[in-house]
Amino acid sequence: MKTNKVILMPVDFGEQALLAVDYAAYFAEKDESSILLLTVIEESSWLAKFMSAEKHAEIKMAAEAELKNMATKLSAKYTAVKFDIRIEFGKAYVQILKVANEILPEFIMVGKTEKPNLTQLVLGSNTQHLIHESKYPVLSIRGSVNLQEVASGEMNFVVPLDVTKEVNDQLTAAVEYGKLFDARIDLFTVLNKNSAALEIKALTKLHQAKEIMDAEGLKSTEKMVKQIDRSVSEMIIDYADEIKAELIIILTQQNISTVNYFLGTTAKALLQTSDIPVMSVLPWDDTKDTVFNFFVDPLGVL
């Protein structure tokens, strides 16, 4: 699957969405990408039956005016980034996925808030659907990101590895984005079982993953810790906070019915609690073209 140099940015004009737009613009400047600002006006099927064409057009015009105003302000702030706008009606995640399949974005960026309201665009189940159904990486912003700190100094990306699963796609994403932003890749794994065999396997995977980063010319570190009295997600977040990481890259599973996340519920907890942006990468079908250039593991370890 080929992608274009565009970031899909759903916005609802809330504070968190605006913060995410700033972060998207920072990425776009680095990658020389454009940004498509998308607003989805949600309407139930029964309500749509009673809405006149005039009222429909009025709502669309108001949303377009708001988006154009946002794009104008952002263009003045980020002069190297082109901003386009688009309005859709319907279920948020359905329309976002539809637009993504049309424009083939590098990734989808969403801003999440803890307090839902009637105008919220991507919230709860919508975000979950996007992460599980999007063929493109989804980068979610929950907390307050200090862009001045991000823009100064070395960027650090934490890549939590589940030693019991295939991690090739996750490492591919780490390589691609690590190169793009000249970031250091911090490979991290948590052992949640007291097993000598599992520990050897984890150390082997970490070492081989670091060799991949080295071969690709990326700075990297490797660290393994044993789970004691905290959840895996808490340990990942604490480590990311400790090294002042700008991004956590996780691998998710395409199984919306069982919410089968990386390390069980760990990814869900990360997405709900991490103030550090989290990029969710869905495993792709390696028999077809991929979102990233597929990284080959010649030793068959990963």
Q: What tens-digit pLDDT sequence spans the chain (302 residues)? A: 578 899 999 988 766 677 788 888 888 888 789 999 999 987 665 555 556 667 778 888 888 898 999 899 889 988 999 999 999 988 889 999 999 999 999 899 988 654 444 334 333 677 778 888 888 889 988 766 566 565 556 789 999 988 777 778 788 889 988 888 889 999 999 987 788 888 888 899 899 999 999 999 999 999 999 887 888 899 999 999 999 888 999 887 644 443 333 445 788 888 888 888 899 887 654 444 444 444 444 334 44
User: In this structure, what DSSP letter does residue 193 have?
Assistant: S
CATH 3.40.50.620 residue window(s) in the chain? 6-141, 153-281
* Residue 172 burial by Cβ neighbours in a 10 Å radius (0-12, 13-18, 19+): buried
CATH number among 3.40.50.620, 3.30.565.10, 3.40.1190.20, 1.20.1730.10, domain 153-281: 3.40.50.620
Contact call for residues 253 and 262 (beta carbons, < 8 A) = yes
**What is the value of pTM for the model shown?**
0.79
What are the start-end ranges of the H helices in 168-195? 168-180
Q: Is 296 helix (H, G, I), strand (E, B) or coil?
A: coil
Q: What whole-number distance in Å separates Cα of residue 246 and Cα of residue 241? A: 9
- Say which CATH class 6-141 falls into: alpha beta
**What pLDDT was estimated at residue 51?**
63
Provide the token pair at 85. 């706008």
**What pLDDT was estimated at residue 48?**
56
Provide the token pair at 107. 């990734």
**Measured on CA atoms in the order 157, 242, 165, 297, is the torsion positive or negative?**
positive
Q: What whole-number distance in Å separates Cα of residue 214 and Cα of residue 208? A: 10
**What pLDDT was estimated at residue 81?**
94
**What pLDDT was estimated at residue 94?**
92
Q: Kindly list the strands in the beta sheet with 184-191, ordered across the sheet, starting from the edge strand earlier in the chain.
A: 83-89, 34-41, 6-10, 107-111, 138-141, 278-281, 247-251, 156-160, 184-191, 220-226
Contact call for residues 183 and 246 (beta carbons, < 8 A) = yes
DSSP letters of 207-237? HHHHHHHHHTT--EEEEEEE--SS-HHHHHH
